Amino acid sequence: MSRKLVYTGKAKDIYTTSEDENLIISVYKDQATMLNGARKETIEGKGILNNQISSLIFEKLNVAGVATHFIKQLSETEQLNKKVEIIPLEVVLRNYTAGSFSKRFAVEEGLKLETPILEFYYKNDDLNDPFINDEHVKFLDIATDEEIAYIKNETRRINGFLSDWFSQIGLKLIDYKLEFGKDKDGNIILADEFSPDNCRLWDAEGRHMDKDVFRRDLGSLTDVYQVVLEKLQGLEK
């Protein structure tokens, strides 16, 4: 099967395959970035861990009836996905206060949000992914009213599954970022990845089990990701 590199991202490279134009191969890399790529480091083993974690979560979401781009894990660092046109929205769901939310509203981290808060950011590196609302989404022609409603409903439905799975393994799902795309038939499906790179997970003692370990220099990122993977593998049995 021959392949062609079509996109190189911060954490993944994307290839098309000669076999089927509707499929892509995502290759998870050992790179960690923050501040829109201003800080960049190679962390050996991160790609393998994130591919395994994301494959496991997406497989469970598929089984739960969520439409996703995930087909199967191909190797330690590779997975086979449906090709989508990514909708340029970072959909952030917050169950607890943390990160930019705590900064923006000057509130402490870790407060439970009685109704989880959904936020949109415009996925645009040149503009530093600005915080936007539904009306901006429409103005920018990113999605229609119906599509916005679908993305919001689906994100809250996914939140039910994810929060439950993480709670079963003793981790609090603080917040996370999702991306959606349109498949060849124009259907909106969940795309990108779900790993500790794009979510916040706190253990029972409030320890960070996610990329904040890198962002805040709290220790070994891969040690923490390995614990998350092993806990999730326990959940599968």
Measure the CA–CA gap between 43 and 38, rounded to whole angstroms.
16
Q: Which is nearer to ligand TMP, 104 or 184 (CB)?
A: 104
Q: Which is nearer to ligand TMP, 42 or 100 (CB)?
A: 100
Contact residues for 141 (Cβ-Cβ < 8 A; gap 6+): none
Joined together, the tokens standing for residue 78 give: 């590779």
Contact residues for 76 (Cβ-Cβ < 8 A; gap 6+): 47, 48, 51, 52
Q: Interface residues with ligand TMP (CB under 6 A)? A: 90, 92, 98-101, 129, 175-177, 198-200
Residue nearest to ligand TMP (CB): 99
Residue 152: count of CB within 10 angstroms of its CB: 15
Least distance from ligand TMP to the Cβ atom of residue 103, Å = 8
Q: Which amino acid is at 165?
A: W
H helix or E strand, kind and range, residue 194: none
Q: Which is nearer to ligand TMP, 125 or 146 (CB)?
A: 125
Least distance from ligand TMP to the Cβ atom of residue 198, Å = 3
Joined together, the tokens standing for residue 171 give: 């981790």
Least distance from ligand TMP to the Cβ atom of residue 156, Å = 16
Least distance from ligand TMP to the Cβ atom of residue 178, Å = 9
Q: Which is nearer to ligand TMP, 172 or 177 (CB)?
A: 177
159-165 long-range contacts (CB < 8 A, ≥24 apart) are: 159/93, 159/95, 159/116, 161/60, 161/61, 161/64, 161/66, 162/57, 162/194, 163/95, 165/57, 165/60, 165/232, 165/235
Least distance from ligand TMP to the Cβ atom of residue 182, Å = 20
Q: Which is nearer to ligand TMP, 12 or 200 (CB)?
A: 200
Q: Which is nearer to ligand TMP, 12 or 177 (CB)?
A: 177
Least distance from ligand TMP to the Cβ atom of residue 167, Å = 17
